[in-house]
Amino acid sequence: MRHLNGAQHGAAPFSEIAGRAVPGLTGRVAVVSGGASGLGAASAAALKQAGAQVVLLDRDAAAVEAASQAIGALGLAVDVTDGPGMEQAFDTIATKLGRTYVLVNCAGVAEPGSVVRRGVPMPLEEFRRVVHINLLGTLNCIRCAVPQMIEGREAGHEAGVIINTASIAAFEGQVGQTAYAASKGGVAGLVLPLARELGEFGIRVMAISPGVFETPMTLNLGEKSREIVFAAKPPFPKRAGQAHEFAQLALDILANPMLNGEVIRLDGGLRMPART
Amino acid sequence: MQIKDSIAVVTGAASGLGHATVQMLVNGGARVAAIDLAQPHSADPRVLALAADVSDAAAMEAAFARATAELGVPGILVNCAGVLGPARVFRIDKATDKPVPRELDAFRRVIDINLVGTFNAVRLFAQGLAADAPDADGNTEDRGVIVNTASVAAFEALSGQAAYGSSKAGVASMTLPLARELARLGIRVMAIAPGTFETGMYTDIPEHTRRTLVADVPFPRRAGRPDEFAHMVRALIENQMMNGSVVRIDGAVRMREPTHATSIRATS
């Protein structure tokens, strides 16, 4: 833990992004998956501050309850890999708040593992689980949000904006990150075809590709994996990213209508070597 | 880095993306040295208008010296100076009906302005911060931010854009090594790769090509506005984790060769 500053990953310093205006966001519904912690919680708080009606989705019922109360959002406990469960969640959103306008996909897991360890192949379920949560879960939220965006489009406005979370591992996956890198590569890869598919309906699709950030996902890794992840230092600034910096970029993406179909790296210039 | 009270240099400042960037910086509370080939007109007291050719070492040294003397050491550099300079590699000579190579100067000019000119401003900007505090190791504050203008043509240039595309690919490719090299001075380096934007360069493109370019943009189906470019510049300046990468801002367009591309004979 010597590289970590525990005090920094608690309440995000939103004063730094306060006052960032996002035209047309006031009163609109913004849904954040993985919204109970980390990048999702920071994005949710930033969206709330920018005037949106915010919905948090998270599989952890207690955490989503607490996090939604903390910022005055609607919290729904749902697993991103659950098809009918997600449809139900979006029905609830439409009934309680109105149609979805912004979707920020932050739900994700990092579970490092070797493809073959001591002569034993990785259980297929380990690989499938990571790909299902990170990639399929992203698509699950998107398919439920898109019809609401299309139906709720207001004349002269965009129908909606989708911001996904890829990762630096999509481009420079390290040893032991095969499943995580493949899942995030999939997230990066869906951005352009989806932007092309949904453009005619007035929906933008983007992704942020964070480097090493201090979030529960990285802080709660096993000790060895955590040390490996945080040993990688960007050229500048030589520190891990903070969730509010991700949230700030998410708001800047929302506010800029020409940003579409692009994966933006947010990593301080870090390029991961094979091993750290 | 905060824009308020910062000192910025913008090249290509008289028009298009550069002009919008100057406005954004001034509105945000910066003082700006606005450099263009002909001295940009500005009645704004927060703008120091300077005339210099970005590809000219001595002229840019003089411009940076004046900017530093009058405003202080610049902490923000936004390079927008650039030319399209379409040039196919050969043409058919009308008299002899034989192919002749394009004169080398047509390519050299594009490379000199877009790529060498960008580097010229970068080296002088970095020198200012190096001289100001030669050892900034361990400094966690941004001391400088550089935003260069690449282009989607760095990745999908059209025919006739060999010089433009390769010059912009050069701008894109120097982002990471510059970020790595200048990190010890606390300088971040980013590039923006705009698609089709409403600038003077855009209106130089033939009308039928422009129609195809815009028709291909998935959403929004229009050319970008310079203030949207400036908004991106602001987002990069203000977010410290942004470093060493190229951001496309293009409405998801990927440039493809117009299907009605005219023959080499007709366009030589």
Answer whether A256 sits within 8 Å of B219, measured CB to CB. no
Say what the pLDDT of residue B202 is: 85
CB-nearest to A258 from B187, B241, B251 is B251
Alpha-carbon span B101 to B92, nearest angstrom: 9
CB-nearest to B251 from A234, A235, A260 is A260
pLDDT at B85 > cutoff 80? yes
CB-nearest to B240 from A237, A258, A261 is A237
Cβ–Cβ contacts within 10 Å for residue A173, how many? 19
CB-nearest to A236 from B186, B245, B251 is B186
Among B164, B201, B217, B255, the active-site one is B164
Q: What is the dihedral of CA B22, B25, B26, B27, to 10 degrees?
A: 120
Q: Say if A260 is an interface residue toward chain B (CB within 8 Å).
A: yes
A115 neighbors A121 (Cβ within 8 angstroms): yes
A179 neighbors A1 (Cβ within 8 angstroms): no
Per the DSSP assignment, residues forming a β-bridge with B246 are B191
Average pLDDT per 10 consecutive residues for chain A, totaling 276 residues: 34 53 94 98 97 98 98 98 98 98 97 92 95 97 98 93 98 94 96 96 98 94 90 94 98 98 98 91
CB-nearest to B140 from A200, A202, A239 is A239
B228: closest chain A residue by CA: A256
Of A198, A87, A200, A99, whose CA–CA distance to A151 is shortest? A99
Using DSSP, state whether A87 is helix, strand or coil.
helix
Determine the average pLDDT of the residues in B83-107.
Answer: 91
* Residues of chain A contacting B188 with CB distance shorter than 8 Å: 236, 269
Name the B residues in 209-248 with CB < 8 Å from any A CB. 217-221, 224-225, 228-229, 231-232, 234-235, 238-245, 247-248
Say what the pLDDT of residue B138 is: 60
Answer whether A195 sits within 8 Å of B218, measured CB to CB. yes
Q: Write the pLDDT tens digit of every residue in B111-129.
A: 999 999 999 999 999 999 9
Instruction: Provide Rg for chain A, Cα atoms.
Output: 18
Say what the pLDDT of residue B265 is: 44
Alpha-carbon span A71 to B11, nearest angstrom: 43
Alpha-carbon span A189 to B251, nearest angstrom: 16
Answer whether B180 sits within 8 Å of A269, measured CB to CB. yes
Q: Provide the sign of the torsion angle of the four alpha carbons A9, A11, A17, A21, taken in this order.
A: positive
Q: Say if B249 is an interface residue toward chain A (CB within 8 Å).
A: yes
The full length of chain A comes to: 276
| Nearest-5° Cα angle at A180, A176 to A186 | 135
Say what the pLDDT of residue B208 is: 84
Answer whether B219 sits within 8 Å of A203, measured CB to CB. yes
- Residue found under tokens 């499943």: A179
Determine the average pLDDT of the residues in B170-188.
Answer: 96
Nearest-CA distance B48 → chain A (Å): 28
Answer whether B252 sits within 8 Å of A196, measured CB to CB. yes
The full length of chain B comes to: 268
DSSP 8-state symbol, B112? I
pLDDT at B264 > cutoff 70? no
Distances (CA, A) of A79 to A35, A70, A136, A167: 12, 21, 11, 21
Catalytic site residues of A?
Answer: 180
DSSP 8-state symbol, B103? P
Tell which phi-psi region holds residue B212, choosing left (phi > 0), alpha (psi between -120 and 50) or beta.
Answer: alpha
* Residues of chain B contacting A204 with CB distance shorter than 8 Å: 219, 252
Per the DSSP assignment, residues forming a β-bridge with A117 are A120
Determine the average pLDDT of the residues in B20-40.
Answer: 96
Q: Which residues contact B132 (CB under 8 A, 6 or more apart)?
A: B73, B143
Alpha-carbon span A213 to B173, nearest angstrom: 25
B253: closest chain A residue by CA: A261
Q: Which is higher by pLDDT, A17 or B37?
A: B37
| Residue B125: both structure tokens together | 């900007």
Distances (CA, A) of A8 to A32, A242, B153: 22, 7, 40
Q: What percent of chain B has pLDDT over 70?
A: 93
Using DSSP, state whether B152 is helix, strand or coil.
coil
Determine the average pLDDT of the residues in B164-177.
Answer: 97
Say what the pLDDT of residue A1 is: 26
* Residues of chain A contacting B254 with CB distance shorter than 8 Å: 192
* Residues of chain A contacting B217 with CB distance shorter than 8 Å: 199
* Residues of chain A contacting B195 with CB distance shorter than 8 Å: 258
| Nearest-5° Cα angle at A187, A183 to A192 | 150
- pLDDT bracket for residue B148 (50, 70, 90): very high
Q: What is the DSSP string of A91-140?
A: HHHHHHT--EEEEEE---------SEETTEEPPHHHHHHHHIIIIIHHHH
Q: Which residues contact A39 (CB under 8 A, 6 or more apart)?
A: A106, A165, A210, A213, A215, A243, A246, A247
* Residues of chain A contacting B240 with CB distance shorter than 8 Å: 237, 245, 268
A39 neighbors A243 (Cβ within 8 angstroms): yes
Say what the pLDDT of residue A8 is: 38
Backbone angles phi, psi at A119, to 5 degrees: 80, 0
Say what the pLDDT of residue B98 is: 94
Q: Is B94 exposed, middle or buried (0-12, 13-18, 19+ CB in 10 A)?
A: exposed
Percent helix, strand, coil in chain B, to 5, is: 40, 15, 40
Alpha-carbon span A130 to A136, nearest angstrom: 9
| Residue B224: both structure tokens together | 């970008």
Say what the pLDDT of residue B87 is: 81
DSSP 8-state symbol, A235? S
Burial B193-218, CB ≥16 within 10 A → b, else e: bbbbbbbebbeebeeebeebbbebbb
Instruction: Report the mean per-residue pLDDT for chain B.
Output: 92
Pairing status of strand B99-101 against strand A160-165: unpaired
Percent helix, strand, coil in chain A, to 5, is: 45, 15, 40
Using DSSP, state whether A196 is helix, strand or coil.
helix
CB-nearest to B218 from A199, A211, A252 is A199
Q: Say if B188 is an interface residue toward chain A (CB within 8 Å).
A: yes
Nearest-CA distance A238 → chain B (Å): 7
Answer whether B243 sits within 8 Å of A261, measured CB to CB. no
Nearest-CA distance B191 → chain A (Å): 11
Say what the pLDDT of residue B124 is: 98
Determine the average pLDDT of the residues in B167-195.
Answer: 97
* Residues of chain B contacting A198 with CB distance shorter than 8 Å: 219
